């Protein structure tokens, strides 16, 4: 292993693949890198869905796209990265493919996690413990191990002006300014992570009855069926958002007072854009993947022997969501309102 000479760093490549939420959590490093490297070129390597949330950030110079489906595009990408002559590659994903990218990058400094079969690619290593830190903090632990500034803890997500305009117009046409707007988002990367529509309906009705909440159902393309079911069951007590781009969805999330969501990309986007979140958890760990930041809350049904099963499909009856007590949801929402100083409109509209 070698020591990092910060004075030699003129170009940095950050590698972070997988879902949008994973990439959002990695943005915790940006402000820290800019503290130590204010004039350095900082680029990102991500998969296509994550590009919009990074491309407009003023701290990021360029966003490269990793296409896992095409060998020749991967080869062309490696050649492109070599031509750019990065001084430091930070591989926060550290899987076999990204280890190869780092290894062949030509960078003098190549940092990654010491996972089995991948240490060969790196001459700087992050911590070995994957399950000791929240996923956002794990990125800071990598910086810490390299002697890079690591005290800033904000997440970032860029929303384009056009998306802001679409969301502003839609919300203005459907809500008045002082409405207590709560977003319900049934999105989830796999089936067992997704709270059942019937439970979301229970939650929404309780929020309407107690807080006079105005419910907007936010959804992505793979969640249209669940979103429509929630809307049908709630009747005229909710609004179903239109089909949106991920940027427009983010802009609508930013205009909610609170978002209630599964462990998902939109949940992490909400934390990055400053919307308080109540995350609903079952098969994944809220300690590792929960909504990041003290302004947020998470909830799960404690005591189940199948918690954090990480199974894609539930072999039981989805007790981790169906057994959620509405009283606990209300307690968590009360907490969000209190610590975020959210003002409620008690008038019926």
- Could you read off the pLDDT of 204-239 as tens digits, one per residue? 999 999 999 999 999 998 899 999 999 999 989 999
For residue 100, the enclosing domain spans 6-146
Into how many domains does the chain fold?
Answer: 2
Name the token pair of 164.
């802001």
Q: Are residues 228 and 124 in the same domain?
A: no
pLDDT of 138 reads 96
Q: d(Cα 41, Cα 86) in Å, to the nearest integer?
A: 9
pLDDT of residue 128: 84
| 218 part of a folded domain | yes
Residues 231 and 175 in one domain: yes
Tell me, yes or no, whether 46 and 137 share the same domain. yes
Tokens of 149: 């500034």
**Do 191 and 138 fall into the same domain?**
no
Q: What is the pLDDT of residue 72?
A: 92
My answer on whether 286 and 239 are in the same domain is yes
Residue 315 has a pLDDT of: 93
Write out the H or E segment, with its range, that includes residue 143.
Answer: helix 135-146
Note the pTM of the prediction, 2 decimals: 0.95
Establish if 156 belongs to a structural domain.
Answer: no
Query: Are residue 54 and residue 194 in the same domain, yes or no?
Result: no
What angle in degrees, to the nearest 10, is found between the helix axes of 326-339 and 197-211? Answer: 50
Q: Which two tokens stand for residue 192?
A: 């067992």
Would you tell me how many other CB atoms lie within 10 Å of the CB of residue 301? 17
- pLDDT given for residue 346 in this prediction: 53
Main-chain dihedrals φ then ψ at residue 330, nearest 5 degrees: -60, -40
Distance (Å, whole) CA 241 – CA 238: 10
Query: What mean pLDDT value characterizes the chain?
Result: 95
Q: Please say whether the beta carbons of 87 and 107 come within 8 A.
A: yes
pLDDT for the residue numbered 347: 52
Do 121 and 194 belong together in one domain?
Answer: no
Residues of the chain predicted below pLDDT 50: 348-349
In the numeric block, the tokens 């490093």 are attached to 29
330 in the same domain as 274? yes
pLDDT of residue 129: 78
How much is the pLDDT for 297?
98
**% of the chain residues with pLDDT over 90:** 92
Q: How far is the CA of 60 from the CAs of 55, 119, 213, 269, 287, in angstroms?
A: 7, 27, 38, 18, 29
């Amino acid at each position: 292993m070698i020591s990092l000479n910060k004075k030699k760093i003129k170009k940095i490549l950050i590698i972070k693949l997988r879902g949008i939420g994973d990439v959002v959590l990695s943005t915790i490093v940006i402000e820290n890198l800019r503290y130590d490297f204010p004039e350095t070129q900082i680029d990102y390597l991500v998969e296509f869905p994550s590009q919009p949330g990074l491309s407009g950030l003023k701290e990021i110079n360029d966003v490269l796209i990793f296409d896992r489906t095409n060998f020749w595009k991967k080869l062309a990408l490696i050649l492109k990265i070599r031509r750019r002559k990065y001084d430091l590659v930070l591989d926060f994903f550290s899987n076999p493919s990204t280890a190869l990218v780092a290894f062949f990058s030509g960078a003098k400094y190549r940092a990654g996690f010491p996972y089995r079969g991948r240490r060969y690619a790196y001459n700087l290593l992050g911590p070995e413990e994957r399950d000791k830190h929240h996923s956002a903090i794990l990125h800071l632990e990598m910086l810490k191990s390299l002697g890079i500034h690591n005290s800033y803890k904000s997440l970032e997500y860029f929303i384009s002006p056009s998306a802001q305009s679409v969301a502003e117009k839609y919300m203005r046409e459907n809500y008045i300014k002082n409405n207590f707007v709560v977003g319900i988002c049934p999105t989830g990367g796999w089936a067992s992570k997704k709270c059942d529509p019937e439970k979301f309906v229970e939650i929404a009705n309780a929020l309407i009855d107690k807080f006079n909440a105005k419910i907007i159902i936010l959804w992505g393309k793979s969640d249209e069926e669940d979103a429509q079911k929630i809307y049908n069951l709630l009747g005229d007590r909710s609004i179903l958002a239109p089909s949106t781009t991920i940027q427009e969805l983010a802009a609508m999330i930013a205009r909610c007072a609170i978002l209630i969501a599964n462990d998902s990309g939109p949940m992490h986007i909400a934390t990055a854009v400053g919307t308080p979140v109540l995350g609903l958890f079952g098969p994944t760990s809220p300690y590792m993947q929960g909504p990041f930041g003290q302004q947020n809350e998470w909830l799960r049904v404690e005591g189940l022997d199948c918690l954090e099963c990480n199974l894609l499909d539930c072999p039981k009856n989805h007790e981790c969501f169906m057994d959620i007590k509405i009283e606990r949801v209300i307690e968590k929402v009360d907490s969000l309102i209190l610590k975020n100083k959210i003002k409620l409109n008690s008038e019926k509209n």
